[in-house]
Amino acid sequence: MNNGFKITLLATSIFIAACSVQPVVISEQEHQARVAEDKSQLYTDQQPVGAELTLHQAIARAIRYNLDHRLKVMEQALASDMLDIARLDMLPKLTANAGYKGRNNDAGSSSRSLITGNESLEVSTSQERERLVGDLGLSWNVLDFGVSYYRAKEQADRLMIVEERRRKVIHNITQDVRSAYMRALAAQTVLGDIEPLMQRMDSALMASRKIENQGLKTPFESLLYQQRLLTSMRQLHEVRKDLVSARTELATLMSLPLSTDFKLVRPADPPLQMNIPADKLETLALLQRPELREEGYHDRISAMEIKRTMASLMPSLTLSTRYNYDSNEYNKNANWFDFSAMISGNLLDIVTLNDRLQVAKSQASVVDTRRLALNMAVLSQVHIALLDFSEASHAYQTDSALNDVEHRLLKYVKASASSQSGNELDVIEREINAVLAKLQQGESYAQLHSAYGRIFLSIGADPLPERITSHTIQGLADALASGESKWSHLDVEAEQQE
């Protein structure tokens, strides 16, 4: 009775404590502490940025410190752990139990004769009121082993799928960094010329309005010039805004503080013509693209799923043995082993066999159809990348020629102005055109680099080789430069065949 009262009191206390839980608002200090901790973790353990930053160093920093890439690495580690767990499922089950058993009265019983119906024995007991019990059992289910084997094979393929997705993330990071780097480089090249020019444009606008007020030119001529001047100013503002955002985007991709100061180095010029045959690029794309390789693993998982479905319908054979202990003093043997072999099966599974197989085969058909559709999409991306590169090459050559003409015209107008045969306003207008032409050439150069990198992105070219001697920023940058050189000449194909 005393024990029952204690148990009731404990249960009542737990119930009251559970009912008393109320929502608690996170304090402002806790929010501030969280923000401070998150900000400190964003840029921890990073190598400092040098005075100059090359394209391959920028890509290396993004690959090493980019949070999306870190997430994929963590997912890969998680998939590897899940594979280890799936392997452990194939092992026999080893269970141990130990405990205390008691009751408030004796476990007595009597017997009755089945022949006479009379009580044959007086009430007796063969069990103590309190005793210690324990057992250690080992069991192995052959069917579970087979199903776990196929499940482990599937998990191994899922691990490879995560690896292909990590490759895809690296490819996208490389292309994003290349695009942002080249636009930021154009900004770095031109932004120094824009600020003084904007000041001169403001002065020219005020001078034009003064000339209009003084009547030195007709209102139509003055307004026409002001219109051209304001249009150019608006264009310069738009271009400057895009170029400034490119530097911020680049710092974000590298997980750098946005206020970090660095100077970009102009990389080697890409070729103006792609000499690799399109059919060779198509073959490489079908071999290397992470999406297609991922679908290959999905194919294997679908085939394994059919086998696992078949295995799960087989009769189950369970082998087990157990060591037992019971402190009951009435037992002749306090320790003993028991063992068994049991076979069982669900007969209704035979009825659902065709339906289960049909579902598994339908999943395999969906994977095959998706892979074929993806093949067509990949091939189209290769050809679109080649067309974009060709157009970017022509655009860069045209903008380079236009930039050269604009600067030659600027020299001519400046010479005329210095000899007092020209107008200062014409010089400013030509300077605007020259800066815009330089901006356009820089943007075309950035688009050419991006289009060149997009070709290798479309064929699934890995920017990093499989063997990397150093994982420092410079070591990764050197590996990226080496890998890009090999892919540009398709030297990597010979390594893969070896």
Residues 100 and 95: their CA atoms lie apart, in Å, by 17
Answer whether residue 8 shows pLDDT above 80.
no
Residues 6 or more apart whose Cβ sits within 8 Å of residue 472: 47
Instruction: Name the token pair of 91.
Output: 């092992």
List beta partners, residue 335: 325
Residue-wise pLDDT for 110-159, tens only, equals 888 777 878 777 777 778 888 888 888 888 777 777 777 777 788 888 88
Task: For the chain, state the CA radius of gyration.
Answer: 39
pLDDT number for residue 43: 60
Residues 146 and 64: their CA atoms lie apart, in Å, by 40
Which of the listed ranges 84-98, 239-253, 432-446 does the model predict with the highest average pLDDT? 432-446
Task: Provide φ and ψ at 215, rounded to 5°.
Answer: 75, 20
Q: Do 177 and 191 contact (CB within 8 A), yes or no?
A: no
pLDDT number for residue 388: 92
* Angle ∠(258,263,269) on CA atoms, nearest 5: 120
Q: Per-residue DSSP letters for 235-280?
A: HHHHHHHHHHHHHHHHHHHTT--TT---EE---PPPPSS--S-HHH
Nearest in space to 155 (alpha carbons), one of 363, 301, 291 = 301
Domain spans in the chain, listed from the N-terminal domain onward: 63-98+142-319+351-459+469-490
List beta partners, residue 321: 138, 339
pLDDT number for residue 397: 92
Residues 168 and 160: their CA atoms lie apart, in Å, by 12
Answer whether residue 83 shows pLDDT above 60.
no
Per residue in 328-355, is it b (16+ CB within 10 Å) or e — as a string?
A: eeeeeeeeeeeeeeeeeeeeeeeeeeee
Q: Do 51 and 263 contact (CB within 8 A), yes or no?
A: yes
More confident residue, 449 or 197: 449
Residues 266 and 438: their CA atoms lie apart, in Å, by 15
* CATH homologous superfamily of 63-98+142-319+351-459+469-490: Outer membrane efflux proteins (OEP) (1.20.1600.10)
Q: Do 472 and 57 contact (CB within 8 A), yes or no?
A: no
pLDDT number for residue 91: 62
Instruction: Name the token pair of 378.
Output: 């990949």
